[in-house]
Structure 1
Amino acid sequence: MEILIEVILKAGRSGVELALFILLPITVVMLSCMRLLEARGVLDWLVTRLAPLLRPFGLNGLGVFAALQISFVSFAAPVATLAMMDQRGVSKRHLAATLAMVLAMAQANVSLPMAAMGLSFGPLILLSLGGGLIAAAVTWYGFARRLDVCEEAVDESLKHPLAEGAKGVLDVINRAGAEAFRISVGAIPMLVLSLVVVHGLRSVGAVDALTRALAPLLGILAVDPIIVLPALTKVLAGGTAMMGVMDELTRAGQVSASFINHSAGLLINPLDIPGAAILISAGRRVADVWKPAALGAAVGILARATGHLLIG
């Protein structure tokens, strides 16, 4: 019992510190910037100009906005855009391509805090965009080619408040701050519970046993066995929990900035059990296309992982 309490307290301390002292300030700043750009019409201008370039990849204007949301806000931010696409009657083929792109890209709520651990944010964003476009294209032309493409004229505009005058700007910042606080605090339960599970598995030797079992295969692939723990955490508990484990490994000196950058393509994406479950909750038609989207996302993630291995 004493060991269990020690594990809970250690995991709780790590989860709260990560959410309030790393995730919260970064989310407040980035979300405020995004909401101000949105209110000033900058994002609308950007989406309008990027949409024609990305249509060959199976994306429309709302898909472009989803890419901006996951890159600079959080993995959950595109849920609202996917729900909007579902409600406005966007074709299932477009939905599948957009969902695949989102699942393959790096989520800001993990990539931005991990920049403090040594993650190179610039290359990450470029490779994330490339992987997302590959995932969308592979899904559009391959895995989802048999899905319905019929749709009526779709309204691709986004409804958002305007920031006119000092009061309008302050209102936008206050709303963004409140939203960032909800995102950060909402991450604490999953962070703590997942870290308890991870610490518990480590304390009983399960992680070490799995690492030893996979060691021959990892040796053939020239992969550091330390990746087993964050990878297992990511699959079971999501990217935010993986970030918590990676933070602990970094503090303990078990992983370096080079390892973080080499593994970023594989570990920093929402294609895991919690991430996929939250994204497909956007709507019934979104959930219907999860299989081709997940297959396309896997191809995009493989491309990203290769890129990170090549450039470090």
Structure 2
Amino acid sequence: MADIAELILDAGRAGIELALFVLLPVMIVMLTIMRLLEYQGLLGWVVRGASPVLRPLGIPGLGVFAMIQILLVSFAAPVATLAMMDRGGISARHIAATLAMVLTLAQANVAFPMAAVGLNVWAVLGISLLCSLVAAALTFHLFGRNLSNEEASTRDDQDPDDAPAGLMAVINRAGRDAFEIAVGAIPMLVLALVVVYVFRALGVIGLLEGALAPLFEGLGLPSAALLPIVSKYIAGGTAMMGVAVDYINQGLISTAEFNRLAGFLIHPFDLAGIAILIAAGRRVASVLKPALLGAVVGILLRAVLHLVLF
């Protein structure tokens, strides 16, 4: 019993430290930048300018906003945008393409904190952006071609949030949002780390590492990469980040190796991420299948590009 309690305390300590001392400061800075750009009208200008270019790929104006949110804030930030698309009359086909894009993109709440341990953030974001456009286009033109393309209204260029009045109000709101993101990540992060620590203590991870060692060796990756991968797809990117930072600090995974893995690990395509995103609305949940198919192609393309380029 004492061993179990110690394991829980270790996981709790690691999760809270990661959320409050790594995730929170980065989110405060990035959200403040986003809110200031929105307050000055620059974000709306970007959305309006990019929309005509990206709409043939299935991404409407609000989809552009969702893209910016996940790249510069967090994987949860586009939920409000998806909710507006769900209620605002955007066609099911465009929603599916946007969801596929979001699931393929690298989320800021993992990418930017991981820069502290050597992640090539701008390469990760750039590659994910390219592959997300492929995922969106495939979803719109292939996987979701049977979905309705009819729109009830033309509200897709509206911003999801009303800008607060005053510079200090913008900064304070960004700080509150960042705190909510960081604190909201703690329960899932701690529980996920407990599961991972239990697997490791029971020797499950060690058995899998031995069985998959030839595969990882063929890809030029250490067998220790298995635990971050398991953490990612069971519990999400934030949990993966906690395990990966620990392994990098211990020297079990090198910075170069993690950069090779980043295309397969840094995105919201996991159980927790999908559950949060489809909570945006009934119509969003209804187009999940074609969006997942598009996202799978996009993420596999990301993984291949990272293995080739790093």
Give the alignment's TM-score, normalised by structure 1.
Answer: 0.96
**Following superposition, which runs of at least 4 residues in structure 1 exceed 6 angstroms of deviation?**
none
Shift of residue 294, structure 1, vs aligned partner: 0.6
Match runs of 1:137-286 below 5 Å: 137-155=137-155, 156-158=157-159, 160-162=161-163, 168-286=166-284
Are the equivalent residues in 1 in contact too, given 2:66–2:102 (CA < 8 A)?
A: yes
Q: In 2, distance between residues paired with 1:307 and 1:216?
A: 21
Q: In 2, distance between residues paired with 1:18 and 1:116?
A: 12
Q: Give me the identity figure in percent.
A: 54
Task: Give the corresponding residue for 2:56.
Answer: 56
Q: In 1, distance between residues paired with 2:161 and 2:266?
A: 29
Shift of residue 219, structure 1, vs aligned partner: 3.7
Task: Give the corresponding residue for 1:76.
Answer: 76
**Letter of the aligned partner of 2:238 in structure 1?**
T
Cα distance, 1:204–1:157 mapped onto 2, change above 3 Å? same
Shift of residue 287, structure 1, vs aligned partner: 0.3
Counterpart secondary structure, 2:252: coil
Instruction: Identify which range, 208-217 or 293-302, moves more after superposition.
Output: 208-217
Task: Give the corresponding residue for 1:114.
Answer: 114
Task: Give the corresponding residue for 1:124.
Answer: 124
Q: In 1, distance between residues paired with 2:221 and 2:246?
A: 20
**Letter of the aligned partner of 2:131 in structure 1?**
G
Are the equivalent residues in 2 in contact too, given 1:144–1:292 (CA < 8 A)?
A: yes
| 1:71-125 deviation digits (Å, cap 9, x = unpaired) | 0000000000000001001111101000000000000110010011100111111
Task: Give the corresponding residue for 1:25.
Answer: 25
Shift of residue 191, structure 1, vs aligned partner: 1.0
Shift of residue 227, structure 1, vs aligned partner: 1.7
Counterpart secondary structure, 1:184: helix
Instruction: Identify which range, 148-157 or 188-197, moves more after superposition.
Output: 148-157
- Give the root-mean-square deviation of aligned CA atoms: 1.2
Q: In 2, distance between residues paired with 1:9 and 1:240?
A: 18
Q: Does 1:101 align with 2:101?
A: yes
Count residues with an aligned counterpart. 309
Shift of residue 12, structure 1, vs aligned partner: 1.1
| 1:237-267 deviation digits (Å, cap 9, x = unpaired) | 0000000000110111111110111101000
Structure 2 portions without partners, runs of 5+:
none
Structure 1 portions without partners, runs of 5+:
none
Task: Give the corresponding residue for 2:43.
Answer: 43
Counterpart secondary structure, 1:250: helix
Are the equivalent residues in 2 in contact too, given 1:39–1:161 (CA < 8 A)?
A: no
Shift of residue 293, structure 1, vs aligned partner: 0.3
Shift of residue 218, structure 1, vs aligned partner: 3.1
Shift of residue 306, structure 1, vs aligned partner: 1.5
Task: Give the corresponding residue for 2:9.
Answer: 9
Shift of residue 308, structure 1, vs aligned partner: 1.3
Shift of residue 162, structure 1, vs aligned partner: 4.2
Shift of residue 213, structure 1, vs aligned partner: 2.1
**Letter of the aligned partner of 2:4 in structure 1?**
L
